[in-house]
Structure 1
Amino acid sequence: MERLMGMSDQVWARHASPWSVYSRFAILPLLALAVWSRVWIGAWAWGAVALVLLWTWVNPRAFPPPARLDSWASRGVLGERVFLTRRDEVAGHHRRWAAILSVAAFPGALVMAWGLWALDAAWVVFGTLLTMIPKIWFVDRMVWVYADWRRQTGKELGDV
C-alpha cells in the first residue's frame, strides 16, 4: 500500500502533520457518503467516489511538515513508518496486535457495505464506527511502536 501511495521521505514528513492524520479520519465517512450519493445524483456518484479516492492519495501531501513531531498524530505516523520499514526491529506483540486490529476492522467494513447496499443509514454509521475504531487503535499502537523503537535504538524524533 505504501508503494501504491508513493510514500517518499518527503511525503512521510508531510503526512506526519496532525492535519494530515486527523483529516484522514474523515475519508471513510466521506467514502460512505459518496457511495450513498447514488440516491441523489445517480451515476455521478462515481465522480464523488473518485474525488474521495483522489483525496486519499493527496492527503499525505496536502499539508506542510509539522514544526514539531511530538503530537500523538505525528508519533503515530512515525511509528507506522518504523513498522513498515524496520519490521524486524518491532516487537512481536506489536506485530501481532497490528494484525489483530487490521482484521478487526474487516467486519465493520462488511456491515458498512451492507448498509450502503441496503441504503440503511443506521447500519452504515454502525459499520463505519466498527471499522474506524480499530483503525484509530492501530494509530495508537503505532505511537507505542515508535516509543519502544526510540527506547531500543536511542534515536530521536524524526530520525526514521
Structure 2
Amino acid sequence: MERLDEIPGIGPIAAAVVVAEIGLDMTRFPTSGHLVSWARFATGVKESAGKKKGKASTGHGNRYLARILGEAAVGAARTNTFLGERYRRIAKRRGKKKALVAVGRSILIIIWHLLADPDARYHDLGPDFYDTRIAGDHKKRNHIRQLEALGYTVTLTPAA
C-alpha cells in the first residue's frame, strides 16, 4: 500500500480500498488489460453496419472501485504530473468526464504494474512527457503543414 500511495491522487485510504476490492494477487489478471476489463474501465464500442450503438459506456463494474478511481483521477488532475497533463490533454478534446475515466484507467494500469511486480516503483514521467516525446522534425513538419494550409509559403533557415 505504500507503493500505491506514491501515485498522484491515491492516498492511504484510497490505496486500502483498492487493495480491498482488487486484492494483492495479480496472477488472476495476466495483463493490465484484463484488470481494466474486469473493473469495467475499458470502453466498449458497439458498431454494426457502420452505425454506432449506445454511448460507448464502460458498463456496470465494481462501483466501489470506480468511485475511488474517479476520486483519485480528480486528485491527479489537479497536480503538475504526467497524469494531470493527461487529464488536461484529453479534457480539451473529449470533455471532462471522459478524461476522468481515461485517467482512472491509467491509474488502474499503474496499480496493476505495481502489484504484479514486487520490485516495481512508481516513477512519474513528468508533465512535459508528451512535448519531449514528439521529435523536433515531426513538430517542424506539422507546423509547416499548418501554415501552408492557411495559405503561406514557408522557407526555413537555421538560426545562428
Structure with greater contact order relative to length (CA < 8 Å, sep ≥ 6): 1
Smaller-chain TM-score range?
A: under 0.3
**TM-score, structure 2 normalization:** 0.28
- The structure with more radius of gyration: 2
**TM-score, structure 1 normalization:** 0.28
Give the structure with the higher percent helix: 1
